[in-house]
Structure 1
Amino acid sequence: MRTSITRRLKGLTAAATIILLLSSCLKKDLDTLPSAKIDAHPDLMVSSSNLIAMAALGQMSGNPILPSPTADPDILYTNGKYYIYTTATGPGASQFHCYSSTDLLSWNDEGIILDLAGVSWAQQDGWAPSVVARNGKYYFYYTAEKKIGVAVSTSPTGPFIDKGSPLATGDGTDPIDPMVFIDTDGQAYMYWGNTLLNIQKLNPDMVSLTGTLGHQKPSNYFEAPYVIKRNSIYYLMYSVKWYTDDDYHVEYATSSSPMGPWTSKGRITSPIGEIKGPGHNAVLVKPGCPDEFLFIYHRRTSTVVDQRQVAIDRMFFDASGNIMPVSITKSGVIKAAGTAACIVPNPIANGQYAIKSKMITSSGAGLFLDIPACSNLNADVRTWTKTTCNGQKWNISYQGNGFYKIISEQPSHKSLDLSSCGLDRGTDVGVFDANGSNCQLWKIESAGNGWYRVMARASNNVLDIEDASNVAGANVRSWSWNATDAQLWKFEAP
């Protein structure tokens, strides 16, 4: 598309989410934060003019992940790295860049990989690339002056050499936003177009089209098509409304054929709070993990509509194969090399448990997730040593979609909940009337040796004992994952 660290410190969260710094000011700015609360990853530094220094949140990416303004991302994994490609910057939006990462936390600007100044048929308005690997080469599809081009390289970071003429114009007044999908039978398809959706097969050479140009589209389709296949079903994601609209968002449709027809299914993203226009997405299936999906998109917090920022969150399917609405978060995703082990979706059997922290008191006593004074009312949760109270008994039930409900055994059966449904790290965790919201859904993931992290669906933040306190009665809050004992929990017989 075109162009509570403690409660009194919660205001620092937004500043910690994105810090784009020159080397001369990086240390100065970080030194202004409380030293005990800086959990940026060890690679946060500027070692060359091309390195983007972003403030990762512990072992999480933070959102946004790339400097603003940039938009319309595509993502590729190859040769042990993740690569992100975005709309061009520079004079007249003529210079396409690539950003690389080994772990989803720190991203290097690989520099200009295609400059429209060297393209014979278009020199400006370089938008919305799509990149695929095939035939030992990388194919870079892009918009320029409302035509679709393709450039080729032997490296994911270029340089890419344009084929010398447009690949396609397509039908419609705004044939933009190309996306290339390779089906399981090896046939490649290109999707593109604003308002009117164009679909056509690519030849094996990947730089020419063949067959009939199709126009099947779902209701509400506007732009930025993106296709994946799961369990023989084709999922077409697309953005709705003008990118300048606060409610610019992603919807999806399904089909039994890559050419359609498409059945509209619903919305994937929605603006939340100060975050507007979450749209123009791409999806990456984590290598070797067919049910782990990374959802990359752009959004903005500025009232200047072109100040868009690239972000990354996780995408999930429910038990019926529907794409669940993506949680638009500030913490982003957990550090993960492409070779990291796959996440087991439901590691804890349904049942009643005491939830024990890896933290212990100075006398060696265990600490458990506890409703203070065994209250039957809405309340914050704390840690406490072992009791027989029902306020330390939790009924865990898997919902078939990667998430659990965690319900107290107290007679009121309150649900574990994020206070005021807060997305910021530092949000208190409590029990509240069960309402089925995302703030009452939790992902339980193994952290090894029988210990687990418990992650809120709404924010991607995890259960955390404030200030890593080992004193009974410490506050339990949500925080970005940093793999400390204060964030590790075991599920035991009550």
Structure 2
Amino acid sequence: MKKQICSLILGALVASLVFYSCSRQQEPAMVIPANTTAKQGTSSAATLAALDLMSGNPILPPFTADPDILYANGRYYIYTTANGPTVNEFHAYSSADLLNWVDDGVVFNLNNVSWSHADGWAPCVVARNGQYYFYFTASKKIGVAVGASPTGPFTDIGAPLATGLGTDPIDPMAFIDTDGQAYLYWGNTTLNIQKLNSDMVSLTGTRSNAKPSNYFEAPYVIKRNGIYYLMYSVNDYRNNDYHVEYATATSPMGPWTVKGRITAPNGNILGPGHNAVITRPGCSSEYYFVYHRRTSTNVNERQVAIDRMFFDAAGNIMPVNITTSGVIGITGSAPCTSPTPVANGIYAIRSKVNTSSGQGLYLDIPACGTGNADVRTWTRTNCNGQRWALTYQGNGFYKIISQQPNHKSLDLDACKLAVGTNIQVWDQLNNDCQLWRIEDAGGGWYRILAKASGNVMDLANGDPTPGADIRSWSWNGSDAQLFRFEAAP
């Protein structure tokens, strides 16, 4: 019904047209994936290599869907709906840094299952008892196979683990609670929840069918601060508005209170749904949201992507910013990232690029103007046009407001999302074009990323001349894209 065969076709990353609502005229433009475009005016090998510092979405080359993610032995593993002649071959893809993914090949084949050889959908893998348990859908039943490593080989237990209520008992997800009790969630339109025995291959206890009112499929559960978060997809996957919502409970079996929406189509990025979530090991507040989406009119040409997920101060999941740039690379040695690496306050924002005589260059409103204007660079002055108030908004992003008397907001010109869009100050508006993520790049330097486009603040062509343009660009790791926040009186 929902999963169709996904051909293993290598494809180029697809740029996305993204439209936002602004109070002024918009000029929708192409957003170029950050790992596919070199910085204009540069051609050095170092700059081109730096383009790989962002994962880029989609992250896997083939058309595939329904991802689950696991961290084990220093690597991240993504498992997706099967491909092959009868949708029978499950692959694993792995990465050490969320940037560079390799196909580990077929880790489980339904040809080796006695009770089904087709329609392998939506796997979930968990580690326990020194083993890895591979839960999967086949012929609209839930199975489980066991292996000694994240890439198997996995051996089926010889019979379906569960069918469950509802016409499509699919999409298994295993969750191990902090008290050690494991649960299995599954089902399309009907949500089935039941405890797993400690052997992880048999069910026990009473089955619950408590579900949020708008639940459709693809359950995924995490626990945070004693609260259970059930994420699930809404609408048929062929619907352009296939998306993820969530509900919360104080018990892993419900009842569930509907909280809100996590994803939405973004321009020509359609159907962002069927998700999994992982926290970076050792970084309990650093959440990564893995999901599938498509830009094709062919509803089966879905692709896997990854973006950051944040909670607000009240514990609500904030809507995920759907991007083409993806996430910054991480390794086990990299420090945990914080959504608030810079304290609220008033700062002068200095570029890592200096003038030819060694003077600092700062974000500046030309001629200390008070109207809407492009932002450029200048050497340090006492003008309020070089003083910026940072205020964290509780959703992973800051507002950056000029301290000129009219307090204009740092803004993407006309809400344009293309690489090369000018950065300006404009009347304060309630839109994503005036929200900025600040990420620690090390050594006291930061990159400043626009929520609306996923591109970063950039000194045009690395120009060391005062008065050079400040624009947005795809991330390439150059000094022109690094900034420091200096205390300003």
Give the TM-score, by structure 2 length.
0.90
Secondary structure of 1:439's partner?
Answer: helix
Question: In the alignment, which of 149, 157, 162 is matched to residue 155 of structure 1?
Answer: 149
* Partner Cα distance (1:217, 1:427) in 2: 44
Which residue identity does 2:111 align to in structure 1?
A
- Per mean C-alpha deviation after superposition, the further-off stretch among 285-294 and 474-483 is 474-483
Aligned: 1:36 with 2:43 = yes
Aligned: 1:450 with 2:457 = no
Aligned: 1:283 with 2:277 = yes
Which residue identity does 2:292 align to in structure 1?
H
C-alpha distance after superposition, 1:181-236 (max 9, x if no partner): 11000111111000000000100000111111100100210000000000000000
Contact 1:269/1:279, CA 8 A, preserved across alignment = yes
Secondary structure of 1:227's partner?
Answer: strand
* Residue of structure 2 equivalent to 1:96: 90
Question: In the alignment, which of 224, 236, 242 is matched to residue 236 of structure 2?
Answer: 242
**Where do 5+ consecutive residues of structure 1 fail to align?**
4-9, 20-29, 43-55
Deviation at 1:383, TM superposition (A): 1.4
Deviation at 1:409, TM superposition (A): 1.1
Contact 2:363/2:386, CA 8 A, preserved across alignment = yes
* Partner Cα distance (1:405, 1:128) in 2: 39
Which residue identity does 1:167 align to in structure 2?
L
Contact 2:30/2:417, CA 8 A, preserved across alignment = no
* Partner Cα distance (1:149, 1:63) in 2: 31
Aligned: 1:193 with 2:187 = yes
* Residue of structure 2 equivalent to 1:119: 113
Contact 2:174/2:183, CA 8 A, preserved across alignment = yes
C-alpha distance after superposition, 1:299-357 (max 9, x if no partner): 00000000001000000000100000000001000011144211133232322211111
Secondary structure of 2:53's partner?
Answer: coil
Deviation at 1:489, TM superposition (A): 1.2
The 5-angstrom pairing of residues 326-405 of structure 1 reads 326-405=320-399
* Partner Cα distance (1:161, 1:216) in 2: 32
Over 3 Å counting, the alpha-carbon distance change for 1:302 and 1:401 in structure 2 is closer
* Residue of structure 1 equivalent to 2:138: 144
Question: In the alignment, which of 296, 316, 319 is matched to residue 313 of structure 2?
Answer: 319
Question: In the alignment, which of 157, 160, 180 is matched to residue 166 of structure 1?
Answer: 160
* Residue of structure 2 equivalent to 1:296: 290
Secondary structure of 1:273's partner?
Answer: coil
Deviation at 1:277, TM superposition (A): 0.4
* Residue of structure 2 equivalent to 1:212: 206
Contact 1:191/1:199, CA 8 A, preserved across alignment = yes
Over 3 Å counting, the alpha-carbon distance change for 1:308 and 1:39 in structure 2 is farther
* Residue of structure 2 equivalent to 1:421: 415
Over 3 Å counting, the alpha-carbon distance change for 1:41 and 1:295 in structure 2 is farther
Contact 1:355/1:394, CA 8 A, preserved across alignment = yes
* Partner Cα distance (2:67, 2:184) in 1: 17
Contact 1:150/1:166, CA 8 A, preserved across alignment = yes
Deviation at 1:247, TM superposition (A): 0.6
Which residue identity does 2:55 align to in structure 1?
S
Contact 1:40/1:58, CA 8 A, preserved across alignment = no
Over 3 Å counting, the alpha-carbon distance change for 1:345 and 1:316 in structure 2 is same
* Partner Cα distance (2:136, 2:42) in 1: 44
* Same amino acid, percent of matched pairs: 66
* Partner Cα distance (1:18, 1:450) in 2: 24
Which residue identity does 1:36 align to in structure 2?
S
* Partner Cα distance (1:266, 1:205) in 2: 35
* Partner Cα distance (1:86, 1:483) in 2: 31
Over 3 Å counting, the alpha-carbon distance change for 1:174 and 1:444 in structure 2 is same
Over 3 Å counting, the alpha-carbon distance change for 1:37 and 1:371 in structure 2 is farther
Aligned: 1:262 with 2:256 = yes
* Partner Cα distance (1:480, 1:217) in 2: 41
Contact 2:351/2:362, CA 8 A, preserved across alignment = yes
Give the TM-score, by structure 1 length.
0.89
Deviation at 1:421, TM superposition (A): 3.3
C-alpha distance after superposition, 1:7-33 (max 9, x if no partner): xxx98864x5687xxxxxxxxxx99x9
* Partner Cα distance (2:451, 2:44) in 1: 23
* Partner Cα distance (1:118, 1:40) in 2: 47
Which residue identity does 2:43 align to in structure 1?
A
Contact 1:327/1:459, CA 8 A, preserved across alignment = no
* Partner Cα distance (2:169, 2:112) in 1: 22
* Partner Cα distance (1:76, 1:37) in 2: 36
* Residue of structure 2 equivalent to 1:48: none
Aligned: 1:273 with 2:267 = yes
Secondary structure of 2:69's partner?
Answer: strand
Contact 2:35/2:56, CA 8 A, preserved across alignment = yes
Deviation at 1:431, TM superposition (A): 1.5
Aligned: 1:82 with 2:76 = yes
Name the count of aligned residue pairs.
463
Deviation at 1:440, TM superposition (A): 1.6
* Residue of structure 1 equivalent to 2:3: 2
Contact 1:282/1:295, CA 8 A, preserved across alignment = yes
* Residue of structure 2 equivalent to 1:461: 455
Secondary structure of 2:82's partner?
Answer: coil
**Where do 5+ consecutive residues of structure 2 fail to align?**
5-27
* Partner Cα distance (1:425, 1:191) in 2: 42
Contact 1:17/1:64, CA 8 A, preserved across alignment = no
Deviation at 1:413, TM superposition (A): 1.1
C-alpha distance after superposition, 1:379-423 (max 9, x if no partner): 221112222322211111223343321101122211112234344
Over 3 Å counting, the alpha-carbon distance change for 1:176 and 1:11 in structure 2 is same
Contact 1:330/1:423, CA 8 A, preserved across alignment = no
- CA-based RMSD of the aligned residues comes to 2.2
Secondary structure of 2:314's partner?
Answer: coil
C-alpha distance after superposition, 1:59-96 (max 9, x if no partner): 10000001231000001111000100000011121100
* Partner Cα distance (2:99, 2:324) in 1: 13
Contact 2:47/2:477, CA 8 A, preserved across alignment = no
Secondary structure of 2:272's partner?
Answer: strand
Question: In the alignment, which of 66, 72, 78 is matched to residue 72 of structure 1?
Answer: 66
Higher RCO (CA 8 Å, separation ≥ 6 residues): 2
Contact 1:447/1:453, CA 8 A, preserved across alignment = yes
Contact 1:328/1:459, CA 8 A, preserved across alignment = no
Contact 1:81/1:338, CA 8 A, preserved across alignment = no
Contact 2:29/2:418, CA 8 A, preserved across alignment = no
* Partner Cα distance (1:39, 1:173) in 2: 55
Over 3 Å counting, the alpha-carbon distance change for 1:182 and 1:424 in structure 2 is farther
Which residue identity does 1:238 align to in structure 2?
Y
Contact 2:444/2:484, CA 8 A, preserved across alignment = yes
Contact 2:34/2:455, CA 8 A, preserved across alignment = no
